[in-house]
Amino acid sequence: MIGRLSGVLVERKPPELLVDVGGVGYELEASMSTFYQLPTVGESVVLFTHMVVREDAQLLYGFATESERRMFRALIRVRGVGAKLALAILSGMSAEDFVRSVQDENITALVRLPGVGKKTAERLVLEMKDRLKEWDTFSSKVDTAGEGVGLVVDAQDEAVHAMISLGYKPQEASRLVSSVEEAGLSSEEMIRRALKQSVRL
């Protein structure tokens, strides 16, 4: 299994990225929390990884910190939560906020996350509350990773695409991105603001 990658960041189009390791390009999917911490294209990057092997695909997920990978692995153990939903949860809420929401049984906060309905939120609380009692508080401070390099896609279109990939409906994704758009913003900053906006609604 592949547990860690160290190489050069070749491409970053949320939620997907490409890392060159010794001439081999690895395609990964990552949460927006990880994207905010990535260097610019062409720079060195180290990612913790989780690999999923299915009959029809081999999927690799990347994480900026080991703590985020631990949270991802805890989430996919919950019944009804797959890798895509786990990434959406980690993109829509910081780890600290997620832990707090589960411990406080704050169903209202959890259902604001894309793809999380009331039943899933209740299951998250039920199945994760005991596991998170021993969870070390870890930092998931979000910083923008700077302007993307070599992106040919319009920043707003890229932000909308990323929001759809995270589980938002196209119309909702466009509305959220449009509400936070400002001249000169990178796509990642738009996504970060749009996710914050959606949690407030």
SS (H, E, C) 154-172: CHHHHHHHHHHHCCCCHHH
Q: Contact, 62 vs 35, CB < 8 A?
A: no
Least Cα distance to 95 among 167, 39, 33, 30 occurs for 33
**Between residues 200 and 109, which one has the greater pLDDT?**
109
Region 67-96 average pLDDT: 88
Residue 53: C-alpha distances to residues 16, 34, 56 (Å): 18, 22, 8
Q: Using one digit for the tens of pLDDT, what is the confidence trace for 49-67?
A: 999 888 888 899 999 988 8
* Of 92-101, 105-114, 121-130, the least confident: 92-101
Q: Which of 7-21, 104-118, 130-144, 181-195 has the lowest mean pLDDT?
A: 130-144
Which domains can be identified in the chain, with CATH numbers? 4-63 (2.40.50.140), 67-132 (1.10.150.20), 155-200 (1.10.8.10)
pLDDT at position 85: 92
Structure-block tokens of residue 10: 């070749």
Q: Could you report the per-residue pLDDT of 142-184, keeping only the tens digit for each?
A: 332 333 333 334 677 778 778 777 777 777 877 888 888 777 7
